[in-house]
Each structure stands twice: as C-alpha cells, then as structure tokens.
Amino acid sequence: MDSTGVPHVLEHTVLCGSQKYPCRDPFFKMLNRSLSTFMNAFTASDYTLYPFSTQNPKDFQNLLSVYLDATFFPCLRELDFWQEGWRLEHEDPSDPHTPLIFKGVVFNEMKGVFTDNERIFSQHLQNRLLPDHTYSVVSGGDPLCIPELTWEQLKQFHATHYHPSNARFFTYGSLPLEQHLRQVHDEALSKFQKIDTHTAVPTQKPWDRPREFQITCGPDAFAADPSRQTMVSVAFLLPDITDTFEAFTLSLLSSLLITGPNSPFYKALIESGLGTDFSPDVGYNGYTREAYFSVGLQGLSEKDVQTVRSLVDRTIDEVIEKGFEDDRIEALLHKLEVQMKHQSPSFGLTLTSYIASCWNHDGDPVELLKLGNQLTQFRQCLKENPKFLQEKVKQYFKNNQHKLTLSMKPDDKYHEKQAQMEAETLKQKVDSLSLEDKRRVYEKGLELRAQQSKPQDASCLPALKVSDIEPVMPVTELDVALAAGGTPVQYCAQPTNGMVYFRAFSSLHTLPEELKPYVPLFCSVLTRLGCGIFDYRELAQQIELKTGGMSVSPSVLPDAAHLDTYEQGVLFSSLCLDRNLPDMMHLWSEIFNNPCFEEEEHFRVLVKMSAQELANGIPGSGHLYASVRAGRTLTVAEMADVRPVLRKLPRIKKHLLSGDNLRCAVNATPQQMAQAERAVGDFVSSLGRSKKEQRPARPHVVEKPASGSPGSSMHVHGPQIVRKLVTDPTFEPCQMKTHFLLPFPVNYVGECVRTVPYTDPDHASLKVLARLMTAKFLHTEVREKGGAYGGGAKLSPSGLFTFYSYRDPHSTETLQAFGRAVDWAKSGKFTQQDVDEAKLSVFSAVDAPVAPSDKGLDHFLHGLTYEMRQAHREQLFAVSHDRLVAVSSRYLGVGKSTHGLAVLGPENAKIAKDPSWIVR
C-alpha cells in the first residue's frame, strides 16, 4: 500500500537464509549446488513469483525444499534486512558533517529501473489509471521512498502475506505430481493453520469523466531529434481479467488494433510521421485485476500531443464504422494456432506467467489454459454477429469514461532534481538520528561488514555431486544433402508438433567493407518493405497468414579453433505449420529475388522505429551494450534525405540474397522431411547465382568443413557444410579504456580479456573459473558489499573472458574488485568443493534443454560436431584446482593478455583525471 518496495525487498530478503538452511544467501549458493535450468524471483504489481526448474528429480526436491523454507520460514533478523535492503557507511559516527549513505541492492536496482524513460512512463500510466488501491504505488519501490521502510513493516508484511493461505503452487513437467504435493504439504502447509488473509484487491471505482496528466523525465541522450522527446498515451480501463472469455476477446482485439502495418493505429499514428514509435506498454495489459489498453506515440514534438489524441479518437470511430477485414482476423487466429503448437524449453515457466495474474485474483487457471475452447467461442460470436468486434470497440473505447491521457516531456534538470531530493531525504534521516542512534547504526554496519567477510558454511544446504552429471551427451542425428546448384541443406528430424523450422545462412565475405555498417539496417527492413507482387502491407498480411514469423539478423560466428577467425553473415529464420510450408518457402523466394527497395516513406518510418528501439534498449541492458551498435541506425534516422542509404540496399542484396554463399537447415518431423526437401529445393532453384566467382572483400578467407575432416563425425550423414571464415593475420589487439558518459545514476561496468577458443583445453578451465569467481568472490564484493544489482564473470564461446557489473553505484572500485578477483584466483584460496560446485553450475547451462526447433544448430551455425562437444564435456570434467590457478595466472594477470575496459554511466572525477581513459 506504499512505495517503499516492501514486497521487492522481501523477495530479495527471504532468499537470504531460513530456519532449516541458516546460511547467508542460499539462493545464490544453490546456483552452484544444483543443475537448475532456471532460478529466480519476480515482484509484480500484486504478487511475488518464485520460479525454478531442473531436469533432475533429486535436484527438484532439493530446490523445492530450499524455496519452501526460505519463503515461509525466513530468518528475518534485523541484520539480514540491512544486508539485502541497504546499509550505512560512516567514517566516524560522532562527526555530524560526514553524510550517511544509504546503499542497497533493491535501492540501486530501482534507481537503474527508473533511468529508463519507458519504465517511468509505464509506471505512471498504471498508477494514474488505477489510483484507488495498490496499483497507485510502486511495488518494486520508489528510490525516494525505499529508505522509509522499517524492519517492523517488513516483518509485518511477511506475516500477513507469506502464508500458505495466501499462496498458490504451480508445477509443470514429467516428474510425478504426488511427490511434489506430499513435499509441499509436509514442509509447509502442515505447519500452518488456515487464516483469512484479507489480501484481495478491490475493483477500481469507474470515473465519470476522462482525466489527463503531464509528467517529466530525463532527456534522452540518444534521441535522434532532441526537440522531439515527448511521449503521449491514451489508456482505457477494461473489465476484470477473471472474465476469461472477455479478456481473451479484448486481447485479440488489441492485436487487431495495433499489430503490423495493416492495423488501424499503425496506419493512423506510426505512418503520420508525428513520432518515432508507439508509446511504451502499447496494447492490452492483463497483469492488473482489471485490464487496460493504451495507445500513443513517442518521439513527438510537444505541440503534437493534441493531434495524437484526436487521431486516436478518429481511428476508434473509423473502426466502429468499418470493422476489420476477414483476412486480418484469420491471420490473428492462425498466429494463435502457431503459438499453441510451438514448443520452447521454457514452456512451463511461460504458462506460469500466463496464469499467475488471473489466478491471483481467484480466476479459474484451468479455464484460462483452454485456448481451443475460447477460440471456438470467439468464432461462434463472430458468426452470429458480424459486428461483434465493432460493438466491443464502441463499448470499451468510444463510450468509456474511464479514459486517461498521459503525456511526458523531458526536463533538463530532472536527474539533478532527483539527486537533490534523494540527498534531502537522506539528510532528514541523518538529522533525525541521535548520537546514540548513529553509533548503533555504525556498529550495525561494522557487524554487517564482518558478517559479509566471514567465510560461509553452506554445508546445511542440499547439493548434487559432479557424479550426478551424465558423462556422455545424447546424440542428435543430422542428414546433409545438396540442393540445386550444390547448396548444402541440413535436415534434423525432431518431434516438432506439426511445425517446420527453416533457417538459411548467407556469408558476407564478398561484401565490400563500406557496405558492412548498413547490414543491420538491411536486415531490420528486408521483410517489412514488400517484395514481388506484394507491397509492404500485403507482405505483412501473407507473413501473418502463412508463417509464425520471418526474421533476418546479422551474425558474427566465432571459429571454434582460432581466436581471430570468424564467419560474418546473415541468418534467415522462419517457422510455419506443415500445411503452409510451400507458401512460406515461396515468400522467401520472393524476398530473395524481388525485394522492393523503392518504398522511401515506409523505409523512413522503419528506420525511425529501429533507432528508437536501440536507444530505449540501453538503460535495461547497459552491461551488454556497445554504444557503437546503435550508431549507424541513429545516424540514418537523423538524415533528411534517406535515398543515398536506400541505394546501398540493392548493392547489399547482390552479395547476400543469392545462392552463392548460402547454406540451409530444416527441423521437422520425419513424416514432413520429403515435403521439406521439395520445398527447399524449389526455393534454392529459384535463386540467382554469379556467373563468375565473386572475390572476397578481405584477402584472407579460409574454407572450413563443419565436420572437420571428411567422415570424422559418425552422426552427420551426407556431404559437408563448408563455412567461409575471415581471418586477418596482421590484426593486433590493443588495450582500450572507454567511459561512455550517460545520464544514469548508476553504472554498467565491463572488462574483457582475450583468452583461447572453444577447442583449446584451457577454454573449459576458464569457463569453470568464471563461475567460481562469480560465486565465491565477485558476488560478495560487487553485490553484497558494493550494492550493485548484479555482477560476475563469464566466458564467451569466442574466448572473451568478461568481468561485468550492472546497476552499480560504483565504477573504479568495481574495476579494482575485478583485479582482486584475479589475485584471489591466482592464490588458489578455494577448495575442491568450490571447484565441484562451479562445475555443477557450468553443466546446468551446458545441459539446459534445447527445443526440437533448435536441435543441430550448433553444427549448422558454428561447425561444432558431436565429437568436439563431447571432447569439451570431458575437458570440463577434468578441470582441477591446479588448472584453475594456472589459467588465471596465464591469461588474466596484468600484462598477460589484452584487456578492454568500458564504463557506461555518470561523470566520474577519478576517470576524468586519468589520461589512460577515453571519455565519450
């Protein structure tokens, strides 16, 4: 009922020790004592979800036991609260001039969340549309309110809400249900008496007239046009989400209104040229007790806000009058059919998320899952009343007085004002403390630091052993055949549930260097510009009617055996119901042979949308982001005349969309393979080829068979797939330290070190070392002591060893922690138990479930054979204490390998004074 973030702080705190498992941080400890394929916790607006998954029955019981005990019987000692909520640092408690600084994981997480203008907008939209109860506050916590939370409030909230009477349990999978039920009863339910929790969320009182608000945010450093940074959205309150069929209908209606270039709001708003993209959270939102729908634009001039409001009203009137074309409704129902058949490794977790909100408000979860029934009922309603959808639009959008118009504009002093309010809040806190209070807080801080520095005894926690891991990996049978003109096609027969998955990879080694920066843009617009007889609207319609989506993405694939050898290319991916395979392959033929690069206005719209998506992605993924990635698209978005860029696209097409440098892959059921072979053969036959061989743009291109030497792989039948790898013998890596100045109150820190490729035995040791350093050193230093939301080390398949932190109040201190982590590893101050736990953690990723649609992709894309992967598996088993010490000395020490450092975040006095840093 307030914005102190109490449920969010509890989400972090309950996983920090319990009655049965009284060690600090069992959650993070279990990441290394388990073969879990997923472990996390999420705080939504009105519930907290604690999901985990594993393929090992013993592991499932272990994790369930830890989660149950943590949730219902946590050790909510005051110290635990300080540890995961925030802590106070003070040089001298008696000195009134030294400020007390609140720090904490949740505090810094939420400061990071609210650097994202889209999140600020979405939060306000919900708060103001549903102002009468819990949805009017920030469940994750407002950084200005989080310091108000007391330990007593935290304990009281736990006692009220964390009771089995207020809980729901969801399991999915092939393990016996009875065992789960018995364990949940024995370890949790049987220890409580049923109570009336009084946690129901009441319905929102409907308004008698529409409302409007304007809010502010920080300026967007990446905005293509600084004068167009306003957002506006019009939102409508919809019925209770427990009315399953009405919710299903309104969700479909929302898709018809906003999805794709044929939708009314796309035509009216996106193609108006007023903004760059839809406003955040556009469409149907069914995560609150009553759903809502919102639509609007971002990237606007402030003067155009009223125009957008008028366009929304006019579009609603037009839909009521004209309705929707039958083909658009069919395309949407086809999309649902594809979603019901497509299998992903996280299917069970997706179902959990899908039913959680409705079930939380006592809706029927089983009814919700019967999509087939809802689909039948929907078709029946349309048949009986052709104006069924138009009447819904009139009821919920035209005649709905519970309508909110929210606009947001940038304020240059926004971040300054936030920092000032935070400083004032902290000053008030400090001023209210007596000298005795300060001394007590200071002593608590020392006690906490001592606790954090103590070695942890995790022996109370259950654990799997390395011997529980399967020594041999399962075999995936692959067939390779040559289609017309010698194009290799890999076939992988899998239980795909009546779906066919097609991929093609086209090498870029002949593309001139000056065109390469435009390849990501080429990929993002290729399937959205029209082709052959279809304009862009008709192509979008065909893609929706005949496929589950067609995507094109640039890829740089490392070589498994050499650090500076890689394959540059573009990956084409699509899926369809088996009956639509010939149609899907015909669409690819048209896109490859007759793409349309003349639609200048629509191209400009697509570029603006791409640039907006790139800019919006930075606050959420700062630790992953290379700012140069966004550079080219943002530059094009600013151009008044885009024709010079459009003229580059046919030149890229000539090198990319031909049969010359192509290989294909199909995953389908055995019964579909003959049809797949015919359809792919027709596609390949339709492609043009160069009369003479095109010369590589780079002088050094290595041709490499995917399966090593001929006949080396006993599980790939038929001819070989040959990869065209680029190498540069003159390449010299250089050390760079770059600080990207961004208007964020937190930092994203990264340090990369070049090591060795996948097939080198040291690669396995470095992979285990990354997990070991994360769990045994960096987690404590960067998250627990430093207050960052996350941090650790990881090794990429290409051999880059990366230290990282995100939503981090520190930068240079974190880089020093990375250095200490290397010294710790070189000193060998870790046990055999630590090594075994790191191996378990690595194998949980190595053996994560792979969807039938993705089997064989390692071979197709990266040239990894069964033998190479099994050899790597054996190298992982063989990693020892001595090897870990050896590789940390050999690769990670100063002067051993080339290091690259980057910090994304606010100004930093230390970095500014250091001439070895480049500030951008």
Q: Helices (DSSP H) in 865-908: which residue ranges?
A: 866-878, 881-887
CA distances from 445 to 184, 198, 456, 571, 905 (A): 37, 37, 18, 53, 27
Tell me if residue 11 is catalytic. Answer: yes
Which tokens go with 794? 């990881």
- 896 φ/ψ sector (left φ>0, alpha ψ -120 to 50, else beta): alpha
Catalytic residue among 78, 84, 152, 567: 84
Q: Are 5 and 154 in contact (CB under 8 A)?
A: no
Strand partners, 500: 576
Q: Please spell the DSSP secondary structure of 628-648, one letter per residue.
A: HHHHHHHHHHH-S--HHHHTH
Which tokens go with 908? 């930093």
- Rounded to whole angstroms, how far apart are CA atoms 342 and 548? 9
Which tokens go with 607? 């570029």
CA distances from 622 to 121, 312, 418, 629, 753 (A): 19, 34, 21, 12, 19
Q: Are 481 and 719 in contact (CB under 8 A)?
A: yes
Q: Which of 581, 610, 597, 617 is nearest to 657 (CA)?
A: 597
Catalytic residue among 11, 290, 567, 781: 11
Angle, CA of 738, 739 and 741, to the nearest 5°: 145
DSSP category for residue 693: P
CA distances from 597 to 512, 515, 522, 531, 796 (A): 19, 16, 10, 9, 37
SS3 state of residue 769? helix
- Rounded to whole angstroms, how far apart are CA atoms 825 and 769? 8
Strands 722-727 and 487-493 turn out to be unpaired
How many helical (H) and strand (E) elements, i.e. helices and strands, does the chain have? 33, 27
DSSP category for residue 74: B
| 79: enclosing H helix or E strand | helix 78-85
For 130, list phi and psi in degrees, rounded to 5.
Answer: -125, 70
For 907, list phi and psi in degrees, rounded to 5.
Answer: -55, 150
CA distances from 163 to 199, 289, 822 (A): 11, 21, 44
Strand partners, 805: 749, 791
- Rounded to whole angstroms, how far apart are CA atoms 818 and 753? 12
- Rounded to whole angstroms, how far apart are CA atoms 406 and 492? 51
Q: Are 62 and 35 in contact (CB under 8 A)?
A: no
DSSP category for residue 265: H
68 CA to centre of own chain: 27
CA distances from 456 to 29, 77, 836 (A): 10, 17, 16
Which tokens go with 368? 């919700």
For the purposes of burial, counting CB atoms within 10 Å of the CB of 854, is it exposed (0-12), middle (13-18) or buried (19 or more)? middle
CA distances from 234 to 116, 278, 309, 811 (A): 20, 11, 7, 40
For 205, list phi and psi in degrees, rounded to 5.
Answer: -70, 125
DSSP category for residue 889: I
Tell me if residue 513 is catalytic. Answer: no
DSSP category for residue 890: I
Query: Which residues, including other chains, have CB under 8 Å from residue 102's CB and lie 6 or more apart?
Result: 86, 87, 88, 146, 147, 426, 429
Amino acid letter, 724:
K
Active site residues: 11, 84
